Structure 1
Amino acid sequence: MYTAEISRTSPSAFLFVIDQSGSMDERMETEQTKAQFVADVLNKTLYQLVIRCTRADGVRNYFDVGVIAYGDSVRSGFAAPLGGKILHSLSDIEANPLRIEERVKRVPDGAGGLVNQPTKFPVWFDPTSLGGTPMTAAMRTAAEAIAEWCDAHPSSYPPTIIHVTDGASTDGDPSAIADALKQMSTSDGECLLFNLHISTTGGQPVVFPASDSGLDEYGRLLFRMSSAFPDHLVQVARDKGYDSVSGESRFFGYKAGYEVIVDFFDIGTRASNLR
């Protein structure tokens, strides 16, 4: 399983499900709010997917990509012209950022120091933090989009859903719809659902555990909602220093700070067998 070649004629899909509830306005160690930091990481991830799939002839549509945002409502995380549906080809994503911002990054100066270098940063997804946490409705919206995608791509590498939240669901238990989502499949395997809980409280995060021991009730819920670690991503995680990861681990993080958030997105979007 999870061995299908990813190509323009047989793409895979990434769907990001992002909590934008009112509590996402809390500030992280980076001084950004949780909403701002997650939006930056997501926009950078989208840009890296575009770069990874760009060849001399342009952006190749190895992936369909979507964002679902939930807070005061459940909606596409993209604005017009991308806002009308959930999943879009990568070339459509590349062609329709909200804006291009000028950012500054620190780069080596060749003499052992660092200098500021201006860089272009495309933005597709804006941070907001408003309302409750309708996680169940968001998962249902994801399931509808993924079911349609799997029907249209029956032999493709299955979709990956990356869900980021900072709090408990306010519209009931999302686990049943999450289980249904994980059971959706192509001939190459079941859909992958990765859950990341983020926190500003500090302390030791729980990242990629093999059991739910030591977790509180909400942590155990998200653990059960999460897919087991696909074999081909185990080494990717170990290369980033998560030495205890195995096929028994769940792709799940709890009470994560900013470093884990970056790693979670990076590892979760590494699909093998790109042609």
Structure 2
Amino acid sequence: MSVDRKKPGCFVFLLDQSASMQEPMAGAATMTKAHALAGSINELLESIVMRSVKARNEPPRHYFDVGLIGYGTGARTLFSGALAGRMLASVAEIATNKLRVDRDGGRPRPIWFEPVADGLTHMCAALDLAANIVEGWVASHPDSDPPVVINITDGYATDGDPELAARRLVSLGTGQGATRLFNIALGAHLATAVTFPADDRAVTDERAKALFRMSSPLPPLMREYAVELGVDVHKDARGLVLNADMKAVVQAIDIGTRVDVRA
């Protein structure tokens, strides 16, 4: 995937905020899944902003549009302040519209959204909202690389069949290909993560098999980067991680958002 100011990229993050996200994160008993996920996504947004700064004292260049959707009972955008209600925001708008800035160990840490854990798991509603966002974006960016949608959850949809919603989403695309959907399922207990499987034989649960079927193949650039990080991936690997602890979440997001940024 490559981006420049004429052909920006698009990332949409779907974040499970259901009641079960109050449970401890695998491998981090003092931190809930909701807090761990909020921290990692806030850090990711900061990273995307920094990747878009190419000259000192220059604002971020428009390399990316980003969507941030939370879902519990229903689905909604998570932008606040001047961006409240917006489905997508440019990286420059994100840089200048933080919720607040915290200081942790003396280093300022920008915060765009707070952890939430309440309600059911309306994943279908989130996928449908993502499809609406993507549909508009691809229509106005036909020459860009296809959007990447990353769904992070600790459960399964309680509002229908997510495979149906996923099919609509990945049917949308640009002249460069179909929208890519990655799924990251958080682990409840310490266990070996199933990372980017090439078939569903490594997946025993039928609902996890559905996540496998929903997940897009990893494109070559992302497979190459995964190998650089020490992840063994098959040429048919899918964008799916199961039983993910926070390290696996961060690694999967890093691979899923890997792009070649041009001037």
TM over 0.5: yes
Alignment match, 2:33:
34
Match of 1:141, SS state, is helix
CA distance in 2, matches of 1:218, 1:274: 39
Asked if residue 159 in structure 1 is aligned to residue 158 in structure 2, the reply is: no
Structure 2: gaps of 5 or more residues: none
Pairing of 1:179-258 with structure 2 (within 5 A): 179-215=167-203, 216-243=205-232, 245-258=233-246
CA distance in 1, matches of 2:257, 2:187: 22
CA distance in 1, matches of 2:193, 2:51: 30
Match of 1:14, SS state, is strand
Q: TM-score, normalised by structure 2?
A: 0.95
1:183-218 Cα shifts (integer Å, max 9, x gaps): 211001111111000012222111100011131101
Note the aligned Cα RMSD (angstroms).
1.1
CA distance in 1, matches of 2:174, 2:212: 23
Identity over aligned pairs, percent: 38
Match of 2:82, SS state, is coil
Alignment match, 2:15:
18
Runs of 4+ in 1 over 4 A off after TM superposition: none
Query: Is the contact between residue 228 and residue 249 of structure 1 (CA under 8 Å) also seen in structure 2?
Result: yes
Letter in 2 for 1:32: M
Pairing of 1:37-116 with structure 2 (within 5 A): 37-56=36-55, 57-104=58-105
Query: Is the contact between residue 229 and residue 246 of structure 1 (CA under 8 Å) also seen in structure 2?
Result: no
Q: TM-score, normalised by structure 1?
A: 0.91
Larger radius of gyration: 1
Query: Is the contact between residue 146 and residue 180 of structure 2 (CA under 8 Å) also seen in structure 1?
Result: yes
CA distance in 1, matches of 2:108, 2:131: 34
Displacement after TM superposition at 1:246 (Å): 2.7
Match of 1:54, SS state, is coil
Query: Is the contact between residue 194 and residue 202 of structure 2 (CA under 8 Å) also seen in structure 1?
Result: no
Asked if residue 271 in structure 1 is aligned to residue 259 in structure 2, the reply is: yes
Displacement after TM superposition at 1:273 (Å): 4.6
Moved more, 124-133 or 76-85: 76-85
Displacement after TM superposition at 1:79 (Å): 1.4
Displacement after TM superposition at 1:55 (Å): 2.0
CA distance in 2, matches of 1:93, 1:250: 30
Letter in 2 for 1:227: S
CA distance in 2, matches of 1:155, 1:263: 28
Match of 2:160, SS state, is coil
Query: Is the contact between residue 165 and residue 196 of structure 1 (CA under 8 Å) also seen in structure 2?
Result: yes
Alignment match, 2:118:
130
Displacement after TM superposition at 1:81 (Å): 1.6
Query: Is the contact between residue 63 and residue 261 of structure 2 (CA under 8 Å) also seen in structure 1?
Result: no
